[in-house]
């Protein structure tokens, strides 16, 4: 049963990303580089990222709703940063692109495991709101840094392409 669920989860996560044309980029203003990442693997439901405090800034509208009614970002642990829809040109930002829409966020805190328990985390490490998650939650993690604090996270990342930021 567990193997069946894992196979289904892998299929549905990949299908979700592909069907929705979702891509991830990191925008490193200190290193002057933009990298497109491909996420590999599947969530093994270790629950580590669900039991850690993760805070981030978003550029633009914090409560943006996508055309299909999906909220773009969670409404807690989020701070609107720049008021615009682009980065503030400092540090490491990330973007989620879905079709013609690109939105930026900046991770400001990734706490240790046990630093915060998501209230939607069920006893079996499943998510109580799996089908109603925000886009951000559905596609987390999006960068190698976002799995580093969680040793049992089963996601890996491949670099797809790299550009100089000042040449874009
Ligand atoms: S740490 Fe990685 S494998 Fe574990 S629940 Fe979070 S995304 Fe899934």
Instruction: Give the tens place of pLDDT for each residue, 128-153.
Output: 988 888 999 999 999 999 999 999 99
pTM of the model: 0.85
What lines the ligand 1 site, CB under 6 Å? 43-50, 141, 150, 152-155
Tell me, what's the pLDDT at 159? Answer: 96
Match 């850690």 to its residue by tokens. Answer: 52
- In a mutational test of the pocket of ligand 1, which residue from 50, 112, 116, 144 has the highest number of ligand atoms less than 8 Å from its CB? 50
* Nearest CA, atom 2, ligand 1: 153
Which candidate, 25, 96, 86, places its Cα nearest to that of 61?
86
Domain extent at residue 98:
2-167
Tell me, in angstroms, the distance from the centre of ligand 1 to residue 29's CA: 27
Q: Which of 10, 13, 45 to mutate to test the pocket of ligand 1 (most atoms within 8 A of CB)?
A: 45
- CA of 43 from ligand 1 middle (Å) equals 5
Between CA 66 and CA 77 the distance in angstroms is 20
pLDDT digits (tens, 9 = 90+) for 46-99: 999 999 999 988 988 778 888 888 899 887 766 666 556 678 889 999 999 988
Please determine, for residue 7, whether its predicted confidence score (pLDDT) is greater than 60: no
* Sequence-distant (≥ 6) Cβ neighbours of residue 86 within 8 angstroms: 59, 104
Q: Does the structure show a pLDDT above 60 at 107? A: yes
- Minimum CA distance residue for ligand 1 atom 6: 49
Those residues with Cβ within 8 angstroms of residue 74's Cβ, 6 or more apart along the chain or in another chain = 134, 136, 137
**What Cα–Cα distance (Å) separates residue 11 from each residue in 44, 48, 63, 72?**
13, 22, 29, 22
pLDDT average, residue stretch 118-128: 90
The count of structural domains within the chain is: 1
Can you tell me the distance from the alpha carbon of 48 to that of 56, in angstroms, rounded to the nearest whole number? 18
pLDDT band for position 33 (cuts 50, 70, 90): very high
């Amino acid at each position: 049963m567990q193997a069946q669920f894992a196979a289904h989860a892998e299929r549905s996560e990949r299908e979700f990303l592909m069907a929705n044309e979702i891509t991830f980029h990191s925008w490193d203003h200190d290193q002057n580089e933009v990298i497109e990442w491909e996420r590999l693997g599947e969530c093994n439901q270790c629950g580590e990222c669900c039991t850690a405090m993760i805070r981030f800034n978003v550029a633009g509208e914090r409560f943006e709703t996508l055309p299909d009614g999906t909220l773009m970002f969670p409404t807690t642990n989020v701070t609107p940063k720049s008021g615009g829809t682009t980065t503030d040109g400092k540090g490491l930002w990330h973007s989620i692109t879905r079709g013609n829409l690109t939105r930026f966020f900046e991770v400001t805190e990734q706490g240790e495991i046990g630093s915060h328990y998501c209230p939607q985390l069920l006893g079996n490490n499943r998510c109580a709101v799996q089908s109603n998650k925000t886009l951000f939650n559905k596609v987390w993690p999006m960068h190698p840094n976002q799995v580093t604090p969680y040793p049992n996270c089963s996601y890996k990342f491949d670099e797809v392409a790299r550009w100089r930021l000042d040449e874009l």
